[in-house]
Chains A and B, each alone.
Chain A
Amino acid sequence: MSAAGIVWSVITLLAWGGAAIFDKLALNSMKGLSSLAAVIIRMMFAVLGVLVIALCMGVVDEVRTIKPITVLYLALSGVFGAVIGQGAYYYVAKSGQVSKVVAFTAGYPLVTVVLAIAFLHEPLTWRKIAATAMIVAGLMILAASREAPEKPMPAATPEPGVPPCAGG
């Protein structure tokens, strides 16, 4: 992995990990309300935040220059991550077996690795295989060791294994 890739990935890791704490505190104050409402409020501020970043960088006008094929990929990312993935996750979370389910869904990076090798022809190295196996196993153990929720309800925000960006 290049130095730039590591730096941006570490920033991502810290931002996603820190945000989950705010999510948990927010959910505690939203008892009885839909978790989808929390996701919508969070995304409203996210769009505002990205708008501020884009304004500071002076690139807002560049949105109009994005090619249709890029728009399609970004829209599909939203459809898979924010709608289908999140919708199916709500369905399984309603079963009340959140800990068990999250342990399975924590394996999503494996899907990404397989798809990247199959469609983007990215190289498969022993280092990637070892790292993927260790991280996915660790995430599954972390997810399985979570305490059971007080009552069965959908989790609005990232549990271990849910990509915050892809998950909306």
Chain B
Amino acid sequence: MRRGLIVAVIVTTLSWGLGQLMDKLGVSSLTDTPTSAAVLLRQAMALGMLCVWGGLTGKIKDVRRAPRRAWALLAASGCLGVAVGGVAYYYALGAADISAVAVFTSGYPLVTLVLAAVVLNERLSIMKVVGTLLVLGGLAVLMG
């Protein structure tokens, strides 16, 4: 891999890890404020940042060009993944250690894998089964 690519991979990984730490610090600093109010503020700020980014790069124009089917599917994804998932994630952060929650919830591709096989008829290879078993084992260890 080129040096620039390696740096970008490191920045990506560190940023996601740091982002989760900030989530935990944010939840921990809530006193009387309900968690869902904090999630609303966090997602609204993230939307603002993404719009600025889209505006600066000129890619925000593609929002209007997206077909209705994409809008409907992304609406379902946003409501389920970011709204429901986001609120549940912040409640989990308030109830357990971030090191446990971050590791536990990182196993979500497993759910996607199963749904992709059932809903989209995607093929399951031996490597995917091995990876799945490892993730399931890790989740079991964490829950036990």
Point out residues on A near B: beta carbons under 8 Å. 1-2, 4-6, 8-9, 11-27, 29-30, 33-34, 36-54, 57, 59-60, 62-63, 65-67, 69-71, 73-85, 87-89, 91-92, 95, 97, 100-101, 104-117, 119-120, 122-124, 127-128, 130-145, 157-158, 160-168
Contacts and interface: CB of A to CB of B under 8 A. Distances in A.
B82 A38 contact: no
Contacts of A83: 49-50, 53
B96 A9 contact: yes
Interface of B: 1-2, 4-5, 8-9, 11-26, 29-34, 36-47, 49-51, 53-54, 57, 59-60, 62-63, 65-67, 69-71, 73-89, 91-92, 95-116, 119-120, 125, 127-128, 130-139, 141-144
Contacts of A92: 5, 8-9, 12
Given A26-B77, A78-B46, A91-B8, A34 B92 contact: no
Given A75-B45, A79-B49, A26 B5 contact: no
A17 B40 contact: no
B89 A12 contact: yes
Given A17-B109, A70-B26, A163-B20, A107 B143 contact: no
Given A42-B74, A73-B26, A30 B66 contact: yes
B121 to A, nearest CB: 12
Contacts of B96: 1-2, 4-6, 9
B77 A23 contact: yes
Contacts of B80: 15, 18-19, 22
Contacts of A75: 45
A12 B108 contact: yes
A37 B59 contact: yes
